[in-house]
Copies of this chain bind each other. A is one copy, B any other.
Amino acid sequence: MVENFDEWFHDILEQADITDSRYPIKGMAVWRPYGFQIRKHSMNIIKNLLDKDHDEVLFPMLVPETELAKEGIHVKGFEDEVYWVTKGGQRELNEQLALRPTSETAIYPMYSLWIRTHIDLPIKMYQIVNTFRYETKHTRPLIRVREITTFKEAHTAHATKEESDEQVQDFIAMYKEFFDDLGLAYLISKRPEWDKFPGADYTMAFDVIMPNGKTLQIGTIHNLGQTFAKTFDITFEDKDGEHKLVYQTCAGVSDRVIASVIGMHGDDKGLRLPPKVSPNQVTIIPILFKKGKEEVLAKCAEIKEQLEAKGLRVNLDDRDIRPGKKFNDWELKGTPIKLELGPRDLENNITIAMRRDEEEKIELALDDDLADNVIKLLNKSSENLSNQSWTFQDEHVKFTDNIDEIAQLVEAGNVVSFRWCGDEAIGKEIEEKTGYDILGIQEEISEGKCIASDNDAQYMALIAKTY
């Protein structure tokens, strides 16, 4: 595993052309071409999942102060972090406008107009947009930023509480599928009361454990109950002609998903990208000598075509530089499979395949089965990355019954699970005493004592050093 993770993470973003942080505003970075492709393929996965039963929409980026302020609990959670537009041209605006920190207060006034009767329900929409937080803490590209360039937010409204609870479960299932495709291991927990989304009834969260043991929240799902429905007057006429408030949920993932892909899979040589989101799934590297150069290049082009015909993203690196440099470049950039082809390989009618996730070199015959064999290797690579992530996570979640052991376990790079009575005061005491954050509760339990009181334990909970 990477020694100094934060430094490694910072460097790899620049070296592998993911983002460029030299943009002249702190906490705002540029997505470079290679990084943009990873982002695009990642977003395509979640879009495809959402498109099954959600409508994609796009709301304005600015929110009037009056709307943002309507939901009191909500605005309190964001007011210190909101960027305000106060001027248009040389003129002061009559009302200041917020750069959306999230879009509840932009979307729900429209829901109030769109939802009339039970026939309009459920309503399920999503958008992928940029959002803004005036971070005063130390910023980190993709992890803690001032412009979240990629915020996928879904917003649903339902006729009953039951349906909204089911929707939360649906989102959990959807996010599992999404993160599974990225080969990420994750912890799912219900956030404690004091850490739920401002305005929500309850918040479910996905966290990953980064190589340095810190957890990163990469997905959240909120059951909003009727809080916003009351504030924004979102009602419907049910079958009996009665007017009722809707029940709502929302769910978000952000740039942090890409941070996790980079952080969890990377190694000392650079990125190791999951095939589903790698800009190039295969990079072909010709080994060229004066003799037979044309033949080798022609064969490489033929292989590229053969693989692309099966839907693979293939890069033929025919740059006029030494092959060794090419190997290093694509190792750094994490292409899942490199295919090497020189004159002797051509004679033997083979190519040497190298998986990025393993050191192994594999000879593949240059025949009609080549694409299928490459796809098999890609699948193995996906599985292996996923297995390694889950193994890492399993090894880094440690149970203790002794509150004094928590610090030592966390400092050694672990997330700690413990028994908790669920009492808020006790929970905060645990956080204060250890200096770490309770991520949330993983499951209800019926035996054992609370780690910090004489109460019976109600929950298995997680505590960690968080980003």
Which residues in A have some Cβ–Cβ distance to B below 8 Å? 20, 22-25, 28-33, 36-37, 39-40, 55-62, 64, 66-67, 79-91, 96-97, 99, 106, 109-110, 113, 125, 130, 132, 134, 136, 147, 149
Contacts and interface: CB of A to CB of B under 8 A. Distances in A.
A20 B89 contact: no
A28 B60 contact: yes
B79 A83 contact: no
A415 to B, nearest CB: 31
Which of A59, A88, A147 has most B Cβ within 10 Å? A88
A33 B56 contact: yes
B83 A88 contact: yes
A235 to B, nearest CB: 17
A22 to B, nearest CB: 6
A267 to B, nearest CB: 26
Contacts of A59: 23, 30-31
Contacts of A132: 61
Given A56-B36, A82-B89, A61 B130 contact: yes
Contacts of A109: 23-24
A455 to B, nearest CB: 39
A62 B25 contact: yes
A36 B67 CA distance: 24
Given A30-B110, A83-B87, A36 B58 contact: yes
Contacts of A82: 88-89
Contacts of A24: 64, 66-67, 109
Contact of A57 (B33, B79, B90, B97): B33
A360 B90 CA distance: 56
28 contacts: A23-B110, A24-B64, A24-B66, A24-B109, A25-B60, A28-B60, A28-B62, A29-B60, A30-B110, A31-B57, A32-B57, A33-B56, A33-B125, A36-B55, A36-B57, A36-B58, A37-B56, A40-B56, A61-B132, A80-B89, A81-B88, A82-B88, A83-B88, A84-B88, A85-B85, A86-B86, A87-B96, A91-B134
A132 B28 CA distance: 18
A147 B36 contact: no
A110 B22 contact: yes
B83 A58 contact: no
B84 A85 contact: yes
A58 B86 contact: no
Give the residue among A79, A85, A97, A147 with the most B Cβ atoms within 10 A: A85
Q: 9 tightest A-B contacts by CB?
A: A88-B134, A33-B55, A28-B60, A31-B58, A84-B87, A80-B89, A86-B86, A83-B85, A89-B134
Nearest to A87: B84
B30 A57 contact: yes
Contact of A25 (B20, B64, B89, B134): B64
Contacts of A55: 33, 36
A97 B23 CA distance: 13
A25 B106 CA distance: 10
Contacts of A80: 89-90
Contact of A110 (B20, B106, B125, B136): B20
